[in-house]
Amino acid sequence: MSFVERVKKNLEGKLRIEDGNCGTTHKVLREISRQGGKAIVWERPDGVYSKILDNKGNVVGEGEGITWPPAILFAMVEGGFFPEDIGSELTKSLQCIIDMEKVADIYGYGRVVTPVASAYNEVWKNGGHVAIRRNSWGIEVVFIDKEDKEIAVGPISYCPTCGTAATIPRAPALAAKIKEELKDKRNTGKDKYERKMENHFFFKNDKVCCEIIENGQLLGRASRCCIAYAGVVAEVHSGIAGPKWGALFKEYCKICPTKLCRKGKNTGEEANNLLVSLEKKNLKTDVRMDTYITATVKKEGGLLGEGIGTVCAFSSLMYAKARCIQLRSEIEVVRE
């Protein structure tokens, strides 16, 4: 039995649409890691390129995306790690790949948090808000103006941050403003591309581990509750992250109430299931940028819960559930 077949067999009956693109990617990467494999990702001008390696170092899947996690999922799909019906649905839920070049034209090199933070600030500053909602296996992001009219609806994407990045080009005036604002900003992804750095992702001790390699040498390593967060903290440990994000991400784990890593859980799976529960209750989720990415959950305009997170609104939602009794009581069943 081949490496891919072993992974696929061990995941039979365990893949659920409720876990979404993000939760599914982490579930498969965990099994790939158990079998001795890993994912490697490289920054490029138009986004990122990824490979899945088996336990012998052979390439068993290749993909691309606007940032690390969706590129890894695309490589998993291309590598045949999913049954045909699920693989087809996952591909449809990665429509943000279509907008890779447009997203990269705004900032590029797989960096999405910086332009996404700018988009949140701009929409909210003008009296609007940013909504996130599930669509098939993925996430759909909507920019809404102060008159409660939709400015732009993004493609079905991997997660809220990827979805926001892919929505920006669909609001041309906003895209032009953010591009101008960021044109002289330092881009860590560009630095890594020029230095030919590699990002190695795998599970170890129930956490996602990222190692950043340059010319065969380990620069930095971090283990966290998701691929993206592990990646940015590894950049901090490598000394290549920008000072603003570096300071925030160093501190977040100290204040996070969820401690998912200790429970062997990943943020994507838990948060996607939470979002499904919220939508079943007809609760609305908005996301904005304060010091951290902040998610709010409302019922008929009234605030039920609010939480802060790192690179994605998923971590913010989990924070809100952990801290807000009213929100937990509203969704009734807390998934363990």
- Concatenate the DSSP letters of all residues of 142-170 into one string: EEE-TTS-EEEEPPPBSSHHHHHHHHGGG
Please check the confidence at residue 331 and state whether its pLDDT lies above 90: no
Give the separation between CA 19 and CA 270, rounded to whole angstroms: 7
Give the separation between CA 158 and CA 94, rounded to whole angstroms: 6
Provide DSSP, 279-297. HHTT-EEEEEESSSEEEEE
Residue 179's pLDDT band, with cuts at 50, 70 and 90, is very high
pLDDT digits (tens, 9 = 90+) for 196-254: 999 999 999 999 999 999 999 999 999 999 999 999 999 999 999 877 767 777 778 88
Please check the confidence at residue 85 and state whether its pLDDT lies above 70: yes
Nearest to 143 by CA among 120, 160, 159, 162: 120
- Enclosing H/E stretch for 320: helix 313-323
pLDDT digits (tens, 9 = 90+) for 242-286: 777 677 777 788 888 988 888 888 899 999 999 999 999 999 999
Q: What percent of the chain clears pLDDT 90, i.e. is strictly above it?
A: 83
pTM: 0.95
Question: Looking at residues 119-132, what average pLDDT do you find?
Answer: 96
Kindly tell me the burial class for residue 131, based on how many C-beta atoms sit within 10 Å of its own C-beta (0-12, 13-18, 19 or more).
middle
Report CA dihedral (27, 70, 48, 38) to the nearest 10 degrees: 10
Cα atoms found within 13 Å of the Cα of residue 37, Cβ hemisphere only: 24
Give the separation between CA 124 and CA 287, rounded to whole angstroms: 10
For the ranges 85-89, 168-172, 188-192, 250-254, which has the lowest average pLDDT? 250-254
Q: Looking at residue 332, what is its pLDDT?
A: 61
Please check the confidence at residue 333 and state whether its pLDDT lies above 60: no
Please give the DSSP secondary-structure letter assigned to residue 18.
G
Other residues' Cβ atoms within 10 Å of the Cβ of residue 260: 21
| Mean pLDDT of all residues belonging to the chain | 93
What does the block give as tokens for 35? 């079998």
Report CA dihedral (94, 98, 103, 105) to the nearest 10 degrees: 160
